[in-house]
Amino acid sequence: MKILIVHAHYEPQSFTTALKDLAVETLVAAGHEVRVSDLYAMHWNPVASVADFGERKNSDYCTYALEQRHGFENGSLAPDVLAEVEKVDWCDLLILNFPIFWFSVPAIMKGWIDRVFVSGRFYGGKRFYDQGGMTGKRAMLAFTLGGQPHMFGIEGIHGEIDLMLRPLLRGALGYAGFSVLPPFAAYHVPYLSHEGRQQILVDYQQRLLTLDTLEPLRFPSMGDFDERLYPKA
């Protein structure tokens, strides 16, 4: 299997980085091909702008998604964007590895999604969910956070973790057509003992070795909706 890990953490000694390093070691040892986009090390530019387009379809007014589609079709997207699109095209599994910032991903990873999930390749028209451009590929989140598991239950103070992650799980990955595997969460990391952190690494390694047994999350099927995207009777 070909696996792309997109990693977003500024500190090489962080536990988030340890998760990334463990994933590389474990997956390569299991016979998989692994590539890593280390966004901070790459000095990735997270800002979507007109500079992403070497040739504009409309030079008077920029509609980013339409310019993405035009740029993808004629190969005039910015070189850094094209390089990342090619990596995603190459992989069978995409792993986004990051710390939770304010119930979401760090800005640098949000900017990676904004710029790399290009219209015309990842989605477009009615090409989304099970008809999205990434149909046939899988994706998974692996992340760290400071809260404890009980804080993210149905009655937890922060609400359900899956609802917090919905913009990523459904709005980005599911929407683009990925089969989205259940996320891996490393809870309470800044406050754990060494032994506690080691147990998380053991658990994550076990997850990585059993990826084929995981049931993907369920998202809408386009076949359940009519031409106007109303639910079929």
C-beta separation of 231 from 224 below 8 A: yes
Q: What is the pTM of this model?
A: 0.95
Residue with tokens 């000095």: 43
Q: Tell me: the pLDDT tens digits for 72-81?
A: 999 999 999 9
Local mean pLDDT, 10-residue blocks, the chain (233 residues): 98 96 98 98 97 93 95 95 97 98 96 97 93 97 92 87 93 97 94 93 97 94 92 90
Distances (CA, A) of 10 to 15, 116, 223: 11, 20, 42
C-beta separation of 97 from 6 below 8 A: yes
Residue 230, pLDDT score? 92
Residue 209, pLDDT score? 96
Please state, in angstroms and rounded to a whole number, the distance separating the CA atoms of residues 171 and 149: 23
Residue 166, pLDDT score? 95
Residue 107, pLDDT score? 97
Give strand pairing partners of 99: 144
Please state, in angstroms and rounded to a whole number, the distance separating the CA atoms of residues 4 and 91: 6
Report the first-to-last Cα separation within the chain, whole angstroms: 40
* Strands, E assignment, the chain: 2-7, 33-38, 93-99, 138-144, 179-180, 184-186
C-beta separation of 124 from 133 below 8 A: yes
Please state, in angstroms and rounded to a whole number, the distance separating the CA atoms of residues 12 and 217: 31
Residue 37, pLDDT score? 98
Residue 197, pLDDT score? 93
Residue 153, pLDDT score? 84
Domains of the chain in start order, with CATH, are 2-224 (3.40.50.360)
Residue 137, pLDDT score? 98
